[in-house]
Amino acid sequence: MNNPTPPPGGKDAKNERMREILSAALEEFFQEGFAATRLDAIAERAGVAKGTIYLYFDSKETLFEEAVRSAILPVLQRIETFSVDPQGSAEAALRAMISIFYRDVIGTDRRRILRLFIAEGPRFPRLLAFYHAEVLSRGMAAMRNVLQYGVERGEFRASAAINYPHVIFGPALIGALWKMMFDNLEPLDIDGLRDAHLDSILHGLVQK
């Protein structure tokens, strides 16, 4: 291991160096997968010595988790704002939450994070447990809260979707997989899929 020295310039320089490492790490994980990614390749992409990475992260697993957090949590936090203390229309909140997912996950490279977990997650239970606890569970809880809020307001009928919000997310996940696997063969209109998705679930949820 190289002998790292703290980056000059104080806290701002340190934070910027961390952002550079996380960005480089995520791109390497996207391209190589978790198992094949090497820390020296991340260091080279980030323009730092390999030992510098150990100033911030004690293992490749820790680096991977923080890279995923840096990409996904800002989006998840925006989604959660609609469920913490919902006000006004539950339908509007649900539309906003799903639209954020389409725009900021499916419509960006963040969708590639899903492929990483699908391809390699079963080999690395720690990483699956991390993603379940910090991303999936929170997203499901936010969706469940808004659905329950809609029922309490009389907007939504009480349905199994409250206990199984997986059915609400389902079409969006299919869209992400399609973009990664088949888009060069049959390009997918993300906005059209989003509108069809919303029409379908609201048709089943809205109280007549």
Q: 96 near 82, Cβ under 8 Å?
A: yes
State the helix-helix crossing angle for 190-205 and 90-101, rounded to 10 degrees.
Answer: 150
For residue 7, what pLDDT band results from cuts at 50, 70 and 90?
Answer: very low
Query: Is 109 in a helix, a strand, or coil?
Result: coil
Indicate if the pLDDT at residue 119 is higher than 60.
Answer: yes
* Amino acid at residue number 146: V
Q: What is the DSSP string of 139-204?
A: HHHHHHHHHHHHHHHTSB---GGGT-THHHHHHHHHHHHHHHHTTTTS---HHHHHHHHHHHHHHH
Q: How confident is the model at residue 5 (pLDDT cuts 50, 70, 90)?
A: very low
What pLDDT, on the 0 to 100 scale, is given for residue 1?
40
- 8-56 confidence digits (pLDDT tens): 556 777 889 999 999 999 999 999 999 999 999 999 999 999 999 999 9
